[in-house]
Amino acid sequence: MASLCINRALIQPKSHLNIFVLSSRSTLGAKIANALVTSSTYSPPASFFQSVQRQSYFHTLPLGQRLEQISYSLSKPSPRSNSFRFGTCIHISKKHPSKQFSSSSSGGDCDGQITKLPRRLVKRLEKQGISEQEFVSRLKATPEFPSQYIAKADVEESETEHTRFVENRDQLEQLLKTMTTEPKFLSQEDSFPSDMKKLKDYQKQQGSNSSDIRLKMSPSMTSVVLFPGQGSQFVGMGQKLVHYPGVKELFEEASAVVGYDLLKLCLHGPKSELDKTVHCQPAVMITSLAAIEKFREEHPQAIENCVATAGFSVGEFAALVFSGVLSFPDAVKVVKIRAEAMQKASERTSSAMLTVFLAHDSRLKDAIKMAKEFCIERRDIADPVCTVANFLFPECKVLAGHEEAIEFIATNAKEFRLLRTKRLSVSGAFHTKLMQSAVQPLQQIMANMQLAPPKIQVYSNMTGAPYHAKANYPHLLGQQLVKPVRWEQILHTIYGRPQGVEFPRTYEMGPGKQMGTLLRQVNAQAYKHYHHIDV
């Protein structure tokens, strides 16, 4: 008999839920919580249930068995919130072969279907163009790791116990992100290799290559690769890469496409030319991909064990090349067109970008609203643009829009209790509707390109979630130009995990260390495993 504490999910009263299996006895509670979140309709803050009489049965499945399901039957809501709260333990006993599951309160059977998905999850799926049925099918078809369990519980609500709470509601949303988009990692105590020699022996015994089992490794053995965006460039970047095999060839191939000596511009400048949008976007992407060649030489196993990749703005194209979606020549062509189109869009309207650092009482929404009103009333701008263009971390956002609106906020920062503001040295208001004219050229050039399914999970700037196999890349990458970069959400999704589960090694490819700085602000524990590949 084992006792496990379940927390952070809301179960609606008198509902019959079919939810997915759990991985190991030690992490059973956390996995039930994840499953409950994805299978139930919930709305914080009433996000916990508590019960007195509870029984659960489970049995192990053969190695490599696919996801099975659990069914929960619940009754009697809490008199205060009309929902179940949790905080106490569920007692787990091993299922006897002859013991039959029952469903006393709902009378339903575990029929292998999810009865209802959370509204927030449905909206998120709609943004990605995924139907509920497709999501359920894909989730059910996802291979799980060994030592799975099927569990079923009959729960009756106590009329007297309604007092225990879990205060951190943010983790509820994180559980949803983890379950819906995060690769499933083994917990520390699952019996997988602890070093590279053991890993190779294990692979040899199993007769498989590393890509087959990388999601089954201990997280500390896996890697995540991040690519920077525009603004990270500096004169001299690439100097520490040129002696690695294949790097000069990369720059030569890219130079033939863009029409100028890209390596010379990166190494010697001048800075005024390198900083132009039309030049720096290809330069940053090519330098980042050249860093991969250095990475491949120095950390070959980290390449093989990579489980996720993401890039900031133009860095997303480097991530798509790294994941196998785009070929290198096609990526250079796309980024060249993208940079030229964004440069032209910037020249149409006087616009700017502003980094704002926030306090707990900052009035950012008021600042944006009043900046727009100022533009309409004082500057005769009929449809002013002022919006969040980059979500960096909780206390920091990047605003973009008309020059007059940005200047208004910078001048009146104290009135809106903004801690600090900083102008970005860019040519326009990227990731706002002022870039609308750049969308069509990018989508047109991508329309006839051969795009492959990603070999590694790659995250979309626009949605903050991984691309799925049938993603409309031209549409999403076109919309990325006029929608905010959800970098903070991407980092939460990649690095969110139950307590006690280790973090992967994170490598930043390309100029600067800005991605590491953002990671430290969003997840300090994950940052402890961060490394920069110097260029």
**Annotated active-site positions, please?**
313, 431
Which residue shows structure tokens 């359920």? Answer: 136
Compute the C-alpha angle 520/525/529, nearest 5°. 80
**Closest among 486, 467, 488, 508 to 225, alpha carbons compared:** 508
Pairwise CA distance, residues 333 & 341, whole Å: 12
Other residues' Cβ atoms within 10 Å of the Cβ of residue 24: 19
How does DSSP assign 318-364, residue by residue?
Answer: HHHHHTTSS-HHHHHHHHHHHHHHHHHHHHHS-EEEEEEEE-TT--H
Q: CB-side exposure of 247: number of CA atoms within 13 Å?
A: 21
Pairwise CA distance, residues 70 & 22, whole Å: 9
Other residues' Cβ atoms within 10 Å of the Cβ of residue 113: 10
**505-509/530-533 β-pairing:** parallel
Structural tokens at position 438? 């750049």
Burial class (CB within 10 angstroms; exposed 0-12, middle 13-18, buried 19+) of 462: buried
Say which residues have a Cβ less than 8 Å from residue 105's Cβ, sequence separation at least 6.
14, 73, 74, 75, 154, 155, 156
**457-458/306-311 β-pairing:** parallel
Which residue shows structure tokens 């309604």? Answer: 162
Pairwise CA distance, residues 266 & 264, whole Å: 5
| Positive/negative CA dihedral, 177, 54, 144, 522 | positive
Contact (Cβ atoms closer than 8 angstroms) between residue 508 and residue 319? no
